Structure 1
Amino acid sequence: MKRFHLYLIACLLSSLSFSALAQRAGSGADQISSIEEPISWLPTEGTLGGMPVNIHGQTTYINQRYNNYTSSYSGLNSMSSNKSMSYTWSGTLFFGARIFENTDVYYNPEVFSGVPFSGLVGLGGFTNGEANKAAGKEAQFYSARAFFRHTINQDGTKVHLENEANQISQTVSSNRFVITGGKFSTLDVFDDSTYAKDPRVQFMNWGNMTYLAYDYAADARGYTWGLAGEWYRDNWVFRAARTLAPKTPNGRDLDNQIFKSYGDQIEVERQHNIAGLPGKVSVLAYRNKMTLARFQDATNYVIQNNAQGTQAINDVRTNQQFKTGIGINGEQAITKTVGIYGRAFTSDGHTETMSFTEADNSLSVGVSINGLNWNREKDTIGISMMQNGLSSYRRQYLQAGGVSYFIGDYAGPNQTISYKPEQIAELYYNALLVNNVLFGVNYQHVNNPAYNSARGPVQIYSFRVHAEF
């Protein structure tokens, strides 16, 4: 196993033809950047038969470990208290083509290998944003995205979008409509963030790649099929989408009956500048509809049938349940090298998790610091704090002895779960080793894993290697 990990790292470090990491399209030159511009001699964009095309790629290896930690007891879905190691490795190609003047198509084949901690149970805020794709040591090949994007420009200021993954360079209007349809991640369109979004190059925890309590529609890997619309009006953006929900909660297969089972979301974003420095605030709401279990029904089932220690939610699912939630996200550049962000979200808490993780309310705040002040302008430090909580309905189910999809520490009548919010601190440092390879170290401290004060804290140490062209 160690040889396999060393081989993966060697492959990453030998990828010396990769360009520097490309900055995400955003608010322009004032946006904090810790990565270099693409080197000009690498032809990532060109034409094919007169049609603009581009191609990019990425590969990321993440290794995480923790030592033995204190645990009074363990249940069916408890995170192992013994020393453990987890890893993920991904490789993605991003193909794009402009088939008409303002219409692009994109396709992303992906390969993935990985082993998550404890089979991906025992936490609300999982420590690796790619761990949901892990299905074992054997590499799995699949189509991550296959979508079109059509832009309808109106009068307004011209905005140039740079060549990057899933974006052919393009000049658009500040007033425009954008329609996206096909297979993509809901997070490709919603809840964007300059500082806390991509676990491959920023914070790793699930609670930092989006709101942890945002139960967005997706398959088990985080992708879905659907249609999204965006209306840009200068510094305002209005977004809405309907996407497919899984046939069963956290399942791999999606239900194509989009009027019967779906995830809806809307978002309003307001961009601004304070003292010439960019920031924004957004509000996002969702409504899911599918076959789900209500926690009150599941709790009653556990008590009436002495079903402690089981996933009773599987026995009480009913058609056409609704699940809703709303949250706010804000970010602001404080200086040209320091930016802050914060997210807060709450879901109704009546129904089980549909697609994401076990959380009914979540709060995260953090800071990103560029290394210019210590003559390492391509390096980044990130520091964050998160608190995740459960609704009273979900708590009652767990304390009655029920087990949910990702959590459930019930281990007998004398081991009642002692609920406390799950608290996570995360710290990372990224260094650009050469013009094409990023190396990062990460530390996460988890109090009350899976909302149980009888277990933990857990200290997770990680490193990653990431390259892209």
Structure 2
Amino acid sequence: MTRKFYTLFLLSIVCTFLGASAVAQKAGSGSDQIASFASPIQDLPTEGEFLGLPVNIHGQTTYINQRYNNFTSSYSGKNSLAAQNSMSYTWSGTLFFGARVAPNTDVYFNPEVVSGVPFSGLVGLGGFTNGEATKAGGLNAKFYSARAFMRHTINQEGDKVVLENEANQITQTVSSNRVVVTAGQFSTLDIFDDSRYAKDPRVQFMNWGNMTYLAYDYAADARGYSTGLAGEWYLDHWVLRASRMLAPKNPNGRDLNWQIFNTYGDQFEVERQHHIGKLPGKVSVLAYRNKMILARFSDATNYVLTNNAQGTQAINNVRTNYQYKTGVGVHGEQALTDDLGIYARAFTSDGRTETMSFTEADNSVSVGMGMNGTSWARPHDSIGISMMQNGLSSYRRSYLQAGGVSYFIGDYAGPGQTISYRPERVGEVYYNANVVKNVLAGLNFQHINNPAYNAARGPVNIISFRIHAEF
């Protein structure tokens, strides 16, 4: 196991610096602006033509290593985070291919490879500490298709807007008033709940509660991708978004259910962009509705009590009927200077049924800030600080306190040793340093109170190292 781990680590380093070398050979003397708030990418001429079609190619590789020391625990159950010191890692590599097959129609394909070992087999937390961990399934590298989709733009009257060359975007001039249709395999989060400051665990905050709303049970397979149809309507400063995505065959499963009229995840979002003193900001409201065969927590609780089934995943025994699961949230962000911005998210789900695709949270709030290093003469460095609180519905809480175990959490260890409920609270801070062109190295620290909503365990302090390259 140790030999495989270090082999993958060295492979990540080699891929990273090969990417950096390729960038150094291709990059010219153009603009020195970064492509996005926390991304290290700088001026990559990765567009060209193939068989007369405009094409682009990008790539990324990311290695994340996380560790924590022993923490206080009165007891541990089946789905508890291990109380002994532990190490976790993930490594991913992605290629982003794109081609413009018609004047306003692009196709994209993203093959991806991932390897990794999550803490405690990915149980014991609501807000997991590494956004890449959901894709990792062991030391052996897994290759798969992350995205394969078509995007078509219907321009209407309005101002001209240039969309710059980046991963999954060939340079394109569009109208400020337009309709965009995306169809195929992609992530729901590619379309919804975008954020300049808290979105991508490869270059920003790592915790799942900063990728999106933690209580947003968006439709996806176990790796976070799905297949579906999404539409976006841009009207100057307004954006309306809607989609229907395939749900998994089983909760948190790898295989998708193609009966799109029987099981699905629908979402709708309204976004208003604005400027305050020439500084950009926005506010958005997002709602979702899932339909799938799911267990109701009230039924699962009755099963535990009636059958003395404490310590079991009783939700598996009452998963018989189609259920609807809904939720709504609000997200706002605002640049305070050219280099500093703040954001906040809040979300609530109905909490009557088990988790379909994401993690175990029924309400969540997060706030934070992001800043780049211009003021200390390192404009490609970035720093972020956030705090979040995650909570459970009374239905899910009653099930766990009765001794039930769910997919990710459940600390039952015997009579009188179920969760002592408190909201899970997470503080996170990161610093990324641009070490060479388009390669960053970063440190991340997370302090977690009441892991998996249990005041009898923790706190846990997790330190992480990250290296990321784009080419």
Matched, 1:319 2:321: yes
Task: Give yes or no for the alignment of 1:4 onto 2:12.
Answer: no
- Cα deviation, 1:72-121, whole Å, max 9, x if unaligned, reads 00000000000100000000000001111100000000001000000000
- Does structure 1 retain, via aligned residues, the 8 Å contact 2:12–2:61? no
| Cα gap change, 1:447 to 1:286, in 2 (>3 Å) | same
| CA distance in structure 2 between the aligned counterparts of 1:461 and 1:432, rounded to whole angstroms | 19
Distance 1:37 1:423 in 2: 33
Give the 3 Å change call, closer, same or farther, for CA 108–35 of structure 1 in structure 2.
closer
Which amino acid letter does the alignment assign opposite residue 431 of structure 2? Y
- Give the equivalent residue in structure 2 for 1:341: 343
Which of residues 6, 12, 19 in structure 2 aligns to 1:15? 19
Deviation at 1:18, TM superposition (A): 4.3
Counterpart in the other structure of 1:285: 287
**In the TM superposition, what are the counterparts of 1:96-135 in structure 2 within 5 Å?**
96-135=98-137
Between the aligned partners of 1:99 and 1:32, the Cα distance in structure 2 is: 26
Provide the rounded CA distance (Å) in 1 between the counterparts of 2:39 and 2:210: 20
Find the counterpart in structure 1 of residue 354 from structure 2.
352
1:63 and 2:65 aligned? yes
Deviation at 1:50, TM superposition (A): 1.3
| 1:210 aligned partner, one-letter code | T
User: Structure 2 vs 1, CA of residues 354 and 68 (structure 1 numbering), >3 Å: closer, same or farther?
Assistant: same
Check whether the contact 1:159–1:173 (CA below 8 A) recurs between aligned residues.
Answer: yes
Aligned residue number for residue 175 of structure 1? 177
| 1:330–1:341 CA contact under 8 A, matched in 2 | yes
* Long gaps (5+) in structure 1: 21-28
Per the alignment, residue 193 of structure 1 pairs with 195
Distance 2:469 2:97 in 1: 17
Q: CA deviation at 1:396?
A: 0.2
SS in 2 for 1:373: helix
User: How far, CA to CA, are the matches of 2:334 and 2:415 in structure 1?
Assistant: 49
Deviations 1:193-230 (CA, angstroms, capped at 9, x unpaired):
00000000000000000000000000000000100000
Matched with 2:470 is 468
Aligned partners of 1:35 and 1:432 also within 8 Å: no
The 3 A distance-change label for structure 1 pair 393 and 18 is farther
Report what 1:379 is aligned to.
381
**Structure 2 matches for 1:41-440, cutoff 5 A?**
42=45, 44-440=46-442
Structure 1 residue 37 displacement after superposition: 5.7
Aligned length: 459
Q: Structure 1 residues 226 and 166 mapped into 2: Cα distance closer, same or farther (>3 Å)? A: same
Change (3 A) 1:232 1:302: same
**Structure 2: which amino acid aligns with 1:155?**
E
| Residues 307 and 363 of structure 1, relative CA distance in 2, 3 Å threshold | same
SS at match of 2:23: coil
CA distance 1:218–1:37, shift in 2 (3 Å) = closer
Contact 2:41 2:438 in 1 (8 A): no
**Deviation string, structure 1 residues 23-72 (Cα, Å, up to 9, x no partner):** xxxxxx999735566345x4x11111211111110000000000000000
SS at match of 2:400: helix
SS in 1 for 2:328: strand
Pairwise CA RMSD = 1.4
Instruction: Give the SS at the match of 2:321.
Output: strand
1:33 maps to 2:37:
yes
Q: 1:351 to 1:386 in 2, by over 3 A?
A: same
Q: Percent identity?
A: 73
> How many Å apart are 1:334 and its aligned residue?
0.5
Name the amino acid aligned to 2:429.
Answer: L
Q: Is the 8 A contact 1:32 1:337 kept in 2?
A: no
Deviations 1:418-439 (A, max 9, x none): 0000000000000110112110
Separation in structure 1 between the aligned mates of residue 20 and residue 266 of structure 2, nearest angstrom: 43
Equivalence for 2:28? none
Structure 2 Cα separation of the partners of residues 45 and 203 of structure 1: 29
Q: CA deviation at 1:373?
A: 1.1
Contact 1:30 1:278 in 2 (8 A): no
Note the C-alpha offset of 1:337.
1.2
Deviations 1:396-442 (A, max 9, x none): 00000000000000000121310000000000000110112110100
> Can you give the 5+ residue segments of structure 2 that lack an aligned partner in the other structure?
25-32
Which secondary structure does the structure 1 equivalent of 2:404 belong to? coil
TM-score, structure 1 normalization = 0.96
Question: 2: distance between equivalents of 1:348 and 1:109?
Answer: 35
Alignment of 1:446 with 2:448, yes or no, is yes
Distance 2:36 2:358 in 1: 29
Which one-letter code corresponds to 1:167 in the other structure?
Answer: Q
CA distance in 2, matches of 1:463, 1:271: 34
SS of the residue aligned with 1:197?
coil
Tell me the equivalent position of 1:26: none
Separation in 2, partners of 1:98, 1:262: 30
Query: In the alignment, residue 304 of structure 1 is paired with which amino acid?
Result: T
Judge conservation of contact 1:32–1:336 (CA < 8 Å) in 2. no
One-letter amino acid matched to 1:255 = N
State the 1:17 CA deviation: 2.4
Instruction: Please tell me the residue identity of whatever aligns with 1:454.
Output: A
Contact 2:198 2:204 in 1 (8 A): yes
